[in-house]
Amino acid sequence: MLTVTHTLILGTILLLTSCGGKEESATSKPAPPQATETKAIPVAVDNSHENVSTGTSEVSKTLTIAGNTFRVLVKGSITPNAVLDVSIVQSSGTPAAAIRVWVGDESGVGSLKIKVHSHGASSHAHATAPAKLPENSALWIEVQNTDGTSGSGSIQLN
């Protein structure tokens, strides 16, 4: 029981430090909100695959989803129960309200959809493939904008 407790405490500490989590004291006051102006940045879109040779399978692709442009780097390949390391950097458009990823088909049936962890324009997730992969499975990315519009796109991986 003591080992389980220590493992949970260590895991929590690692999770908080890796995501840059900060604890706020009960007496600290939040900073007043400031008005910010959002500008779209024009970017040339490249929809080609770029395979990077690092010993593991990596695919880098630019996707335009729901009016936003994202550079997506995926480490890993789609196999049953595989975990893919997904990094997403938004290069143009308005800030997304939510970004979700999953491995499978477009419907997401039987797949685990997860919300990415964001730090401004950069996001990260670990997408887990289901044990029974549908035919032509891909990594799917769904973007929901603050105005309620949404869309999805996919990256085929071998």
- Confirm if 121 and 103 have CB atoms less than 8 A apart: no
Decide if 87 contacts 124 (C-beta within 8 A). yes
**Total number of residues shown for the chain:** 158
Let me know if residue 2 belongs to a domain: no
* Residue 64's CATH number: 2.60.40
- pLDDT tens digits along 124-138: 999 999 999 998 899
**Residue 6 resides in a domain:** no
Within a domain: 89? yes
Q: What are phi and psi of 74, to 5 degrees?
A: -120, 125
How many whole angstroms separate alpha carbon 138 and alpha carbon 103?
6
pLDDT in tens, 31-75: 554 544 434 333 333 444 443 334 468 999 999 999 999 999 999
The structure's pTM equals 0.64
> 28 in a domain, yes or no?
no
Q: How many domains does the chain have?
A: 1
CA nearest 118: which of 87, 72, 149, 82? 87
Q: Which two tokens stand for residue 81?
A: 């129960």
